[in-house]
Amino acid sequence: MKRYISPDTIFVAAISFIAIGLQGRRLDLLEANASLQAHRNEPLEEDISGLTNKINTLRSRRKLQNEVVLDIKAMNKDNLMIKKSIESIEARMDAIEESSAREKVDRSLVDLPFQKVGDWWVADNTMFQFPKGIVIGKKNTHCEYGDAVLSVDYGWEGEAVNCPSGHGSVAFGLANQATGDFATVTGGKFNVASGFASVLMGGRLNEVTGDSSAVIGGELNKATGTYAAVLGGDNNEAAGWSTAVAGGGNNKAYGSYSVVTGGQNNNANGPSASVTGGDSNDAKGEKSSIVGGNKNIVEEEGSYSTIGGGHNNVAIEKYAIVTGDSIDKAFIERIETLEQHSPFTCDTSRCVSDKKTFKFTSDIRVKGKIHQNPDHTINIGN
């Protein structure tokens, strides 16, 4: 049986086929457009990818910077905490040091060998040792102080003037110097003790240069010999070994172990000689002595001789004794008698003969020395 198809159906079918064809074409165009669009978008995607990478890099850097900033802030915070910790430690250390110093001072005050009683500091009943020395009063800036020295210096016109420069030396008084080791000046003014272990006690312008020697008082006195001593007076000098001058003025003891006691202008020049008082006496002989008087002399030949006062007496022989002017007058009368009844002219020390020839009927005894004149002869015989 033959089937009948209406025109409307055919139209609809045709329209459908056309629509299906157009739809396919549209799809082709869309695919082509999509392919073209994809091809066009490839550089853009690359640019976007590069930008994205850059953005990511910048983000990473920013993140890193933020992290660094955070680390720096954390470090600053840590530094601030460290600084505060250090300040706290320093404050604690200062407090500890202050406390330690205070405790040390407290202990020192407790251990001090002094106690304050009113306005005075009173020492404990104990020994003190000062290896270098002690300066009481003013310090002499021009003095090279020795070791183990003692100086008491009130000063003069605001300046210190004493100087114990010798080791173990002592200087008191005004403008005194103890320059010798173990030397001592215990007073007076303008005195100098330069001898080793020398002593100067008071007076003015005195000087001790001899070792283990001493001057006690007086003015312008000198002890220049070893173990020498001057006791007072003025312008006296003990120059010999173990010599002494006691008082008087302008007296000198030059011979070893010699002594001058008082008077003025007296000299003890001989060894172990002595002059006691008087004026202008001179004991030259060994172990000779003059007791007072004026201008008496014991010559060097007159060892062990003595003159007891008087005026212008001379002892020229050994063991001689001259007592005042009586012996002196007798001696002069004897010389005058000899001159009147002999061919000799004599003075107090010698006799000179007349120009004559002498004949001696006996022996000639000569005491002392014979000084022969070459122009004359000496005949000795019967």
pLDDT in tens, 43-82: 556 666 766 776 777 667 667 767 767 777 777 777 778 7
Q: 252, 248, 192, 264: which is closest to 228 by C-alpha?
A: 252
Q: 278, 281, 287: which is closest to 319 by C-alpha?
A: 287
Share of the chain above pLDDT 90, in %: 51
- pLDDT score of 342: 72
Q: Tell me how far apart the alpha carbons of residues 179 and 42 are, in angstroms, rounded to a whole number.
A: 114
Whether the model clears a pTM of 0.75, i.e. scores above it, the answer is: no
Q: Tell me how far apart the alpha carbons of residues 175 and 172 are, in angstroms, rounded to a whole number.
A: 8
pLDDT in tens, 167-219: 999 999 999 999 999 999 999 999 999 999 999 999 999 999 999 999 999 99
Q: Tell me how far apart the alpha carbons of residues 206 and 216 are, in angstroms, rounded to a whole number.
A: 9
Q: Where are the beta strands (DSSP E) in 160-301?
A: 170-171, 177-178, 184-185, 192-193, 199-201, 207-208, 214-216, 222-223, 229-231, 237-238, 244-246, 252-253, 259-261, 267-268, 274-276, 282-283, 289-291, 297-298
Q: Tell me how far apart the alpha carbons of residues 182 and 185 are, in angstroms, rounded to a whole number.
A: 10
Q: Is the dihedral of CA 193, 195, 197, 200 positive or negative?
A: negative
Residue 112's pLDDT band, with cuts at 50, 70 and 90, is: confident
Mean pLDDT of the chain: 82
Residue 156's pLDDT band, with cuts at 50, 70 and 90, is: very high
Q: Kindly report the length of the chain.
A: 382
